[in-house]
């Protein structure tokens, strides 16, 4: 009987019983309190869908109206719209690694989808939504545009003076990344907890 009580953790004395009841309370005091509220998955996917749709529509217009045409000057020669095909990463870097960038974009999407399960912070939902929408936008080009699946060239068209040509998906990725850095510096975690180091 004593051996069975030892295995299942039943205390032998009332003092031990009191000690056993105090341990969970002590452990609970050490654990940080989790924020209450709804998960922000809907916000994440709404922002992602908006960023993705905006990028997709803009690229369709650029391919239909601007490709093989003269650049359009928006603000003199400081900002122009010119259609180019970019086989590299954001802002035209690394054209020899198209397949690698495709794999990275797919991995980012998977990580964000997994992180969404414990997402309670609205700012994090917006930031991750921008990242997700941008990654999906450029990944769509990689998969469906020439020269082939997973090697497709991304459509870029925003051309500021003395800067690389980019698209709205690149902008969403950069804005989402900047917001994540700010949130991290402020100590806000995706689950809504705030910590100060």
Q: Which residues are catalytic?
A: 156, 170
Question: Are 89 and 173 in contact, with CB atoms under 8 Å apart?
Answer: no
* Owner of token pair 């510096």: 185
Task: Tell me: cis bond preceding 147? Omega within 30 of 0 counts.
Answer: yes
Would you state the structure tokens that stand for residue 23, as one six-digit string?
């341990």
What is the SS3 assignment for 24?
A: helix
Contacts with 110 (C-beta within 8 Å, 6 or more apart), sequence order: none
**Rounded Cα distance, 171 and 178, in Å:** 11
């Amino acid at each position: 009987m004593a051996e069975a009580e030892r295995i299942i953790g039943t205390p032998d004395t009332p003092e031990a019983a009191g000690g056993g009841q105090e341990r969970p309370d002590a452990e609970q005091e050490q654990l940080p309190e989790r924020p209450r509220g709804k998960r922000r998955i809907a916000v994440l996917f709404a922002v992602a869908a908006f960023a993705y749709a905006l990028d997709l529509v803009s690229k369709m217009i650029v391919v239909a109206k601007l490709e093989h045409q003269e650049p359009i000057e928006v603000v003199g020669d400081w900002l122009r719209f010119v259609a180019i095909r970019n086989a590299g990463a954001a802002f035209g870097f690394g054209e020899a690694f198209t397949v690698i960038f495709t794999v990275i974009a797919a991995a980012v999407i998977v990580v964000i989808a997994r992180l969404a399960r414990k997402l309670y912070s609205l700012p994090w939902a917006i930031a991750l939504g921008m990242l997700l929408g941008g990654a999906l936008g450029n990944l769509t080009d990689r998969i469906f545009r020439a020269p082939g699946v997973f090697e497709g060239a991304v459509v870029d068209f925003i051309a500021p003076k003395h800067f690389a040509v980019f698209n709205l998906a690149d902008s969403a990725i950069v804005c989402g990344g900047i917001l994540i850095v700010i949130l991290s510096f402020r100590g806000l975690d995706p689950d809504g907890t705030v910590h100060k180091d």
